[in-house]
Amino acid sequence: MNQLLNQIAIITGGATGIGLGIANVLGQNGAKIFILDIDSQEGEKAINYLKNRNIEASLIIVDITIEKEIEKTINQIIAKTEKIDILINNAGITGKTGSITETSVEEMDRVYNLNLRAVFLMCKNIIPHMLKRNYGRIVNIASIAGKEGNPKMVPYSATKAAVIGLTKSIGQEFAKTEIRVNCVTPAIVRTKILEQIAPEVVKHLIEKIPMKRTVKITEVANLVAWLASKECSASTGAVFDISGGRATY
């Protein structure tokens, strides 16, 4: 339970849902957690939850779509810890469901800014610090929608597909270092984010899963914990399916 002892882990969107589940598992394995989130109220709840489980955790309120805020935040963490071992790019939104003919450019940009641009910015600004120590683990939370597409979810599907491509590109670029970059592609997970999706769409997505159930947060978190560990040494630029059998490629 101490495979991540004293490692510094940054988790974006870690105040709720999958992000909080990942923070809990990484913390239980010894990591020191920094949650980056824009929701101060849920963020404080998350920190209290983690500290009650004897996990060392801190909250930083930041808009990760703005590079200057990211730079300030990273400098703050480095000044305190002198290193960053793990980056989990988890923050994301589904966006509004609807036909592409009904989707505004503004909505596409809103989803893109958090789901892809923020992932790019976090990687761009943290990798130099990992290179200084020639060690790092980056795990990007993509989606089965990025592999197969979901109907009436163009912004979400497109940006999650882009996260997969970004992961492959960065993973190959730094393959000769000790930095590993991978992503996971969950099917539908029972979190608050489902409230953003029309009920008929949720039903359709569950029906497409051979197991006929949603994925558990703990199932995603445990997979991420391995990808964030030193034991994950020969996989990089890879896509790890966790979709109840919906996609196995």
Q: Which residues are catalytic?
A: 156
Question: Which amino acid, residue 7?
Answer: Q
Burial degree of 78 (CB within 10 A; 0-12, 13-18, 19+):
middle
Instruction: Report the alpha-carbon distance of residue 188 to residue 139 in Å, rounded.
Output: 18
Instruction: Report the alpha-carbon distance of residue 233 to residue 58 in Å, rounded.
Output: 28
Backbone angles phi, psi at 231, to 5 degrees: -65, -25
Backbone angle region of 247, left / alpha / beta, with phi > 0 → left and psi within -120 to 50 → alpha: beta
Burial degree of 241 (CB within 10 A; 0-12, 13-18, 19+):
middle
What tokens does 172 get?
A: 């190959």
